[in-house]
Chain A
Amino acid sequence: MTPEERKAFEDKVHAYVGREVNAPQKGKDDVNKAMIRHWAEVMGDENPAYTDEEYAAKSSKGGIIAPPSMLQIWSMEGYPMAHNPSQDVQRELHNVFDEHGFAGVLGTNTSAEYYRDLRPGDEVHAHTVIDKISEQKATQRGIGYFIETVTNFTDQNDEAVGKIIFRVLKFTPNDSNDATGGDDSDDGMPEAPTRIASPRGHDNKWWWDAVDEGKVLIQRCKSCQTLRHPPRPMCGECQSIEWDSIESTLDGEVFSFTELHYPKFPGYQYPLVCAVISLGEGTRIISNIVGCEPEDVYIGMKVKGKVEQVDEKTMLPQFYPAD
């Protein structure tokens, strides 16, 4: 984005601040004992003030109350929304972000205030507005903007009963397609997943250690000079256990390949092409073909490799089209 484009984009999204997501809406069900009991059971909350009328009547509450954390529940849309999500202003705003490359979405935090206990028979009305949109932020997830929505809840007498602030990050993912977040906050990000590394044992550690230093080696029998890969402790030709190695120039040719579509594993960037590559030295190696579209890879294609850092923890040989 040029500075002008960015300004236009930010003006466009900031124009949403203050707009209401929905007109004030009454919840589908008034506060009722059945839903309170379901919630208490599911959450494992055994507080008798929620379910035991006799106990609740004698308690300081003077009768059954709804768990405060159910506040938002009374205004939820219900299951049909799973098939037919509402096309509200919030969705429209998210679409604007999506169109400008901020496709990632991560719920970062929620805060709630409860002004009074709700009791069976109470109505709950919810009114949601887009309250704030931050300046552009660089987070560990990627560059993005925090959007805050505020929902004010009122009762049948138009008295305020509570308020919930919900903050999401709309961002351009740093890498890969990890646009779905967990519940982690931006200041306590989990480590990004990395590729599944090879364990290193007696017979292969030296090879992977060399890759960490940017080199691809090929094991060579000291006795008969036969090259072998993957490494193993004895020469199959002469049974010698003496060996050294040569460094591959990583000039190769695709012998076979596959584009991996499904399942997609965390830590890998898709599209992803794996190939069996015949190296100029005569041995083969399995690696990735990068630097071109998967459709452009073919058997017999000349490739050139180099060792690269592919994620925070992993050095790997990667092969590019040779010309």
Chain B
Amino acid sequence: MVADIKDKAAIVGVGSTEFSKNSGRSDLSLAAEACKAALDDAGLKPKDVDGMVTFTMDMNEEVDVARALGCDDLTFYSRVPYGGGAATGCLHQAAMAIATGMAETVVCYRALNGRSGHRYSEGVSGDLITGSAIHYGWYTPYGLLTPTSWVAMYHKRYMHLTDCTEDVMFEIAHATREYAVNNPAAFFYKRPFTREDYDNAKKICDPLKLYDCCQESDGGSAVVLTTPERAKDLKQPGVLIKGVAQCSGKDQEEMTSFYRPEIAAIPEMDIAAKMAYEQSGLTPDDIDAAVIYDAFTAIVLWQLESWGFCEQGKAGEFVLSGALRPDGRLPTNTHGGQLSEAYIHGVNGIVEAVRLTRGTSVNQPKKDVNHVLVTSGVGVPTGGALLGKMD
């Protein structure tokens, strides 16, 4: 059965705070500002909001954000687990709530002091903030403590089985950096880099080096969704959810699915992609641009394969063809991605995907952009959304 979700909800507003390394204020202040910016963008008022969605990892309670913003009654609130895997999961929850009438206008937000507060690069080395201590206990005694180390384990295997070389990883890092150079909101605004910089950067976990890894950032991003009917009367052109799916694959662990027959792949994203394409009636050929979750260069490759832009194991070739560049087959992470703009757990990526669909990215491709893919973090249960222009 294919879920009946196509064109049931539209993103009508997007907003972000400044991205920085030290915001000097609370997570709640960032969340409230991002939500307010998204509502302003839509021409909506806080009292129009009746639903809220965020990450289980977010520190800001929905009721606190609602009270800070001055919302009235909320009839829908929900959270999506698994770190960055929740990014488009928020759209998934919001679209279902709107499609069923549980809520009319839903704000999705994520705000964190990810540099000045708890740093994700510390992995599970400090005080565990989740109840998954026993799970990570299979890895911590050996020193496998950080997201980079878990991803490196998959990627070593991927490189072993495919033609992927450091040239490919550099191309991903470099493409996002070149986009960020033009983006005033990006950490690497006006700061280009060279192959030499990439090669000489600190080794993190073999085969990943510093510039294969994303930023750690303070900031918040939010998007507002409502019904397509209501969207017609609002300030910005609506961006429709054409398809949206989540999946936890067989034998999934949180970041450490090392016990599957093959680990150089992300089967949960294959399934989410298939579902989203079926819901939307679209195929990979219909997708004009993408925002692909890039906590690491490596994980972009696996997702390009999951979403059918190239064959399994051939993402390296695809990337080296210049596909991710402004004039390429699939301009990708045109805001600079999390590698080069900021790490707001993928929600800044949803904001960019909306801009691409509206035609307002700072690096807007010259071609018509009708459909844009945006994905969630991988290694964890994940998913993605296909966005399209409203008629």
Closest to A211 in B: B141
Closest to A287 in B: B142
In the complex, A314 Cα to B138 Cα: how many Å?
13
Would A197 and B137 be within 8 Å (CB), given that A261-B203, A274-B142, A288-B142 are in contact?
yes
Residues of A within 8 A of B152 (CB): 258
- Interface residues in A38-85 by Cβ distance below 8 A to B read none
Q: Are B258 and A196 in contact (CB under 8 A)?
A: no
Q: Are B149 and A256 in contact (CB under 8 A)?
A: no
Q: Are A314 and B141 in contact (CB under 8 A)?
A: yes
Q: Are A256 and B121 in contact (CB under 8 A)?
A: no
Would A258 and B145 be within 8 Å (CB), given that A197-B137, A230-B138, A263-B121 are in contact?
no
Q: Are B141 and A258 in contact (CB under 8 A)?
A: no
From the candidates A195, A262, A283, A288, name the one contacting B259 in the complex (CB within 8 A). Answer: A283
Would A265 and B143 be within 8 Å (CB), given that A199-B134, A230-B138, A276-B258 are in contact?
yes
In the complex, A272 Cα to B124 Cα: how many Å?
17
The smallest C-beta distance from B314 to any residue of chain A, in angstroms, reads 20
Closest to A294 in B: B206
In the complex, A199 Cα to B139 Cα: how many Å?
12
A198 at the interface (CB under 8 A from B): yes
Would A276 and B134 be within 8 Å (CB), given that A195-B143, A299-B160 are in contact?
no
Would A198 and B141 be within 8 Å (CB), given that A261-B206, A262-B203 are in contact?
yes
**What does the 1/0 interface line of A174-202 toward B look like (CB < 8 Å)?**
00000000000000000000011111010
Closest to A310 in B: B141
Would A257 and B153 be within 8 Å (CB), given that A196-B125, A262-B203 are in contact?
yes
Residues of A within 8 A of B142 (CB): 195, 274, 286-288, 316
A203 at the interface (CB under 8 A from B): yes
In the complex, A299 Cα to B140 Cα: how many Å?
22
Residues of B within 8 A of A263 (CB): 121-122, 125, 146
From the candidates A203, A257, A284, A286, name the one contacting B156 in the complex (CB within 8 A). Answer: A257
**What does the 1/0 interface line of B132-172 toward A look like (CB < 8 Å)?**
01111111111111100100111011001000000000000
- Interface residues in A237-268 by Cβ distance below 8 A to B read 255-263, 265, 268
Would A256 and B206 be within 8 Å (CB), given that A199-B137, A265-B125 are in contact?
no
In the complex, which range does the number of interface residues on chain B fall in?
35 or more
From the candidates B134, B207, B259, name the one contacting A284 in the complex (CB within 8 A). Answer: B259
How many residue-residue contacts, CB under 8 A, span A and B? 105
Residues of A within 8 A of B202 (CB): 261-262
The smallest C-beta distance from A248 to any residue of chain B, in angstroms, reads 15
B263 at the interface (CB under 8 A from A): yes
B63 at the interface (CB under 8 A from A): no
From the candidates B134, B205, B258, name the one contacting A260 in the complex (CB within 8 A). Answer: B205
B204 at the interface (CB under 8 A from A): yes
A223 at the interface (CB under 8 A from B): no
Q: Are B153 and A258 in contact (CB under 8 A)?
A: yes
Closest to A199 in B: B133
In the complex, A211 Cα to B142 Cα: how many Å?
14
Would A204 and B143 be within 8 Å (CB), given that A258-B206, A265-B125 are in contact?
no
Residues of B within 8 A of A199 (CB): 133-134, 137
Would A286 and B144 be within 8 Å (CB), given that A256-B157, A256-B160, A261-B206 are in contact?
yes
User: What are 13 A-B contacts defined by CB distance under 8 Å?
Assistant: A197-B140, A256-B258, A258-B153, A259-B205, A261-B206, A262-B202, A274-B139, A274-B143, A274-B144, A276-B153, A286-B139, A286-B142, A316-B141
Can you list the 8 inter-chain pairs with the closest CB atoms, starting with the nearest? Answer: A198-B137, A258-B152, A256-B157, A261-B203, A196-B140, A259-B206, A274-B144, A268-B143
Q: 14 new A-B pairs (CB below 8 Å) besides A255-B258, A260-B206, A276-B263?
A: A195-B141, A195-B142, A195-B143, A196-B140, A197-B141, A198-B133, A198-B138, A203-B134, A255-B263, A256-B160, A262-B204, A263-B125, A276-B153, A299-B156
